Amino acid sequence: MNGVLMMPTCKNCHVHLDKYLKKCPLCLRRMNHNYKSSLYPDYNYNDARKNIKCKVFLFLTIIFTSVCTLINLLTIKKEPTLWFIYVLVIVFYLWVLIGHTIISRKNFGSKIHLQIFALSFLFLVIDLNSGFERWSVNIVIPIIILLGTFLISLKIATEKMFVNAYMGYVMSVIVVGFIPLILYAIGISTLFWPSSVVTLFSLLAIIGVYMFADKIFKAEFNRRFHL
Amino acid sequence: MNNWYKLDNAAKIFPAVRNETNTSIFRVSMVLTDKIQEYILRKATNIVIQRYPIFNVQLHKGTFWNYLDIKKSSIEVKKEEHYPCHPTTDGSLLRVVYFNKKISVEIFHSLTDGSGAVEFLKTLVFQYLLLKGEQIDSEDTILLPEDNIESSEIEDSYIRYYDPLFIKRAKSEKTYQLKGTEFKQRGNNTIHGTMDAQLLNEKAKEHGATITAYLITVLIYSIYRENNSYIKSRKNIVIAVPVNLRKLFPSKTLRNFFAVINVGKVVNQDVSFQDLLAEVVHQLNEKTSKKNLQNNISNNVHLEKSIWIKMVPLLIKHLFLKYSFNNLGDSKKTMTLSNLGNITLPTHMQTHVERMEIVNYPTAKSPINCGICSVNNKLTITFTRRIMETDIIRSFFSFLVKEANIDVTIESNEWGVNDAYM
């Protein structure tokens, strides 16, 4: 108790105070000293600036796309194309590219995964908005999926320790690899050979995983689908 | 040992509800007598984590449930720089931080509860002291790194003690919720009040109560006294109290195994402190009975066992869990008070430890929460808040000083104290 008597006391709250406190935490009366806290660091309150930067960019994006949309709609009689849709989808893709692919610390598989979807979406929208000549679903999207599947397979083949981590993406890309064939089957795409090449690659990926990583694949399947 | 784990029954809710105002990360700390040496602490952490493989994991999303995957990398040990229980940016579920004489372990609630976290911290500090060259014996109170890992330590004890015959939970009444002004920059302020544990125990016994019952009553009384808005509300002031189920349902599990009981009543000027205390004691005795806790376990596990619930995709489950937590859980209490009790340390280790703290994270509807633990006859009550207002906390400690005649020493991380609102 003698040790306790040496500590400063808040006369307002009648509690003893750690001598390092700048204010009484209960009533916020200032204590007169220059000691630094004994058990807690001085905090850096600047972390909020990163969040503010992101909000500023988002707000500027909203302003830019809104202005473009308005200009397009106001000049629609002179220029009867909905070009603001190109602006929207390109800006969306740039957010994915910069925010997720370049800046974020997400893993390689996640980045490739999202790039496949974002790029496919970008080209599909451009194709749809420019008369839908089907070049996106016939050629571009199958190539994007093929490249994505190839990159993930290459990563797994060269860095075997990541097999577990990437197995989810492998499974997803295998499923995605069948999408071009499904689009051909229902008549959305009209060219058979790109879809069939992608589907063949997905089938080969399944066979390769089964032959060389079947135990890991089964274990991963159990984890992801456990009830 | 496995290389992946299912989440236990209580753990399933936390990935669904965590966000910036509810990180679901709590902290247990030990303040030692000497300054911490980082390289020894890092070495101790690398040794100790081998004994607790269930804590060195990453959270993943499955199609129907989340699961935990064993990590191959080591646990990061860093000098403390952020506020307690801040959200993670790298997906880590456990972190070891230190500052001056304090070692803290911050842990995501899906891994374990307070009891499990304390076991880890005890082993960590024990190993740290051994590496420093101290002569200490575990006296069978510490899980040692060289011990075998038992399968009972990773079991989901909720499933083990599930009884299909149970009574469905009754609806609870409307509860008073605290409101306040958020700090200019989001963060958690901690205020620790340390006092003589024996003196407090004697005071509680004078009133015919345990320390937990006594402090719950002081807390309810403080909330009543300091909130003008409460007087008109006529709602219950409810304190949620996590209860360690291992005492009544024997289990060695290091994972979650607790139940939450709600204790409270409507308070007005006709209710004296003694009346309130008697009611709190009565409710605690009733709700911590084995029968009631068994019912609690069965209510919680019953949903998980339904095949229709199992087949719902994770995304939809999370929406449902979030809704349930916000409307049936978080909004049915005013504050949480978590008492880890007296922590037993080996005799020779006690001389190296000043005190312990538990930081209980605030949530969206409970902006102030309370954690209590004691070691070496020093009891520390920690209030963690994400709002500026300190009235309730001040009233609480003032009551202990003036009415209970107990000396209290206050420490704080001083987050947000320079935000001007007065």
Instruction: Specify whether B402 is located in the same domain as B292.
Output: yes
**Region of poorest pLDDT, from A89-98, A141-150, B99-108, B236-245:** A141-150
Same domain, residue pair B196 and B79:
no
The alpha carbon of residue A93 is apart from the nearest alpha carbon of chain B, in Å, by: 24
Model confidence at A34, pLDDT cuts 50, 70, 90, reads: low
Q: Report ipTM for this prediction.
A: 0.82
Domain ranges of chain A: 1-42, 44-107, 134-227
In the prediction, which pLDDT does A73 show? 94
Within 8 A of B62 by CB-CB distance, chain A residues are 223-226
Mutation site, B315, B411, B417, B421, interface A, largest A CB count within 10 A:
B411
Cβ–Cβ < 8 Å for B9, B156: yes
Give the closest-approach CA distance of A75 to chain B in angstroms.
Answer: 43
Query: A168 to chain B, minimum CA–CA distance in Å?
Result: 9
C-alpha A182/C-alpha A197 separation (Å) is 13
User: What number of CA atoms fall less than 13 Å from residue A222's CA on the CB side?
Assistant: 12
Beta strands in B245-300 (DSSP E): 258-265
DSSP state string for B55-100: GSEEEEE-SSSEEEEE-SSPPPEEE--SPTTPPPSS--SEEEEEET
- Is the Cβ pair A16, B393 closer than 8 Å? no
Q: Determine, yes or no, domain membership for B173.
A: no
**What's the pLDDT at B110?**
96
Nearest residue, CB atoms, B408 vs list A15, A27, A223: A15
Residue type, A105: R
Q: Which residues of chain A from 72 to 91 reach within 8 Å of chain B, CB to CB?
A: none
Amino acid identity, position B393: I
Write out residues 155-194 of A within 8 Å (CB-CB) of B.
161, 164, 168
Burial category of B198 from C-beta neighbours within 10 Å (exposed 0-12, middle 13-18, buried 19 and up): exposed
Residues B149 and B221 in one domain: no
Cα(A17)–Cα(B193) distance, rounded to whole angstroms?
A: 9
CA distance B304 to chain A (A): 10
* B77-79/B409-412 β-pairing: unpaired
Give the separation between CA A227 and CA A83, rounded to whole angstroms.
48
pLDDT value of residue A165:
64
Instruction: Give the pLDDT band (50/70/90) at residue A222.
Output: confident
Q: Cβ atoms within 10 A of the Cβ of A202, count?
A: 23
Q: Does residue A36 surpass a pLDDT of 70?
A: no
| A16:B397 CB<8 A | no
User: Looking at residue A160, what is its pLDDT?
Assistant: 62
CB B259 within 8 A of CB B301: no
Domain extent at residue B36: 4-160
Q: With contact defined as beta carbons under 8 Å apart, do B189 and B417 qualify?
A: yes
The closest alpha carbon to A172, from A212, A104, A98, A114, belongs to: A114
Question: What is the pLDDT at residue B39?
Answer: 96
Task: Enumerate the residues of chain B whose CB falls inside 8 A of the CB of residue A4.
Answer: 407, 409
Q: B144, B160, B176: which is the final residue of a domain?
A: B160
Higher-pLDDT residue of A226 and B288 is: B288
pLDDT at A161 over 60: no
Asked if A40 lies within 8 A of B393 by C-beta distance, the reply is no
d(CA B142, CA B145): 9
Say yes or no: B151 and B198 in one domain: no
Q: Is A105 on the interface with B (CB under 8 A)?
A: yes
Cβ neighbour number for residue A194 with a 10 Å cutoff = 21
Q: What's chain A's length in residues?
A: 227
Instruction: For chain B, list residues with pLDDT below 70.
Output: 1-2, 420-422
Q: Is residue B174 part of a domain?
A: no
CATH code at position B357: 3.30.559.30
Q: Which residue of A has its CA nearest to B72?
A: A161
Residue B167 lies in a domain: no
The string over B153-182, giving b where at least 16 C-beta atoms fall within 10 Å of a residue's C-beta and e elsewhere, is: bbbbbbeebbeeebeeeeeeeebbbbebee
Best of A7, A23, A28, A163 to substitute, by most chain B Cβ atoms within 10 angstroms, is A28
Q: Tell me, what's the pLDDT at B333?
A: 92
pLDDT above 90 for A54: no
The number of folded domains in chain B is 2
A160 interaction partners in chain B (CB closer than 8 Å): none
Q: Residue A50: what pLDDT?
A: 60
Q: Which residues of A touch B397 (CB under 8 A)?
A: 13, 15, 26
- Residue B80 in any domain: the answer is yes
Residue B171, domain member (yes or no): no
Instruction: Report, as an integer, the average pLDDT of A47-59.
Output: 77
- Closest residue in A to B103 (Cα) is A39
Q: Closest approach of chain A CAs to the CA of B166, in angstroms?
A: 23
Model confidence pTM above 0.90: no
Residues of B in contact with A43 (CB under 8 A): 81-83, 187, 413, 415
Judge whether residue A48 has pLDDT over 70: no
Contacts of B31 in chain A (CB under 8 A): 39
Listed by number, the residues of chain A in 32-61 with a beta carbon closer than 8 Å to a beta carbon of chain B are 37-41, 43-45, 47-48
Collapsed DSSP state (helix, strand, coil) of residue A168:
helix
Q: Is residue B119 part of a domain?
A: yes
Cβ atoms of residues B220 and B276 within 8 Å: yes
CATH number of the domain where residue B75 is located? 3.30.559.10
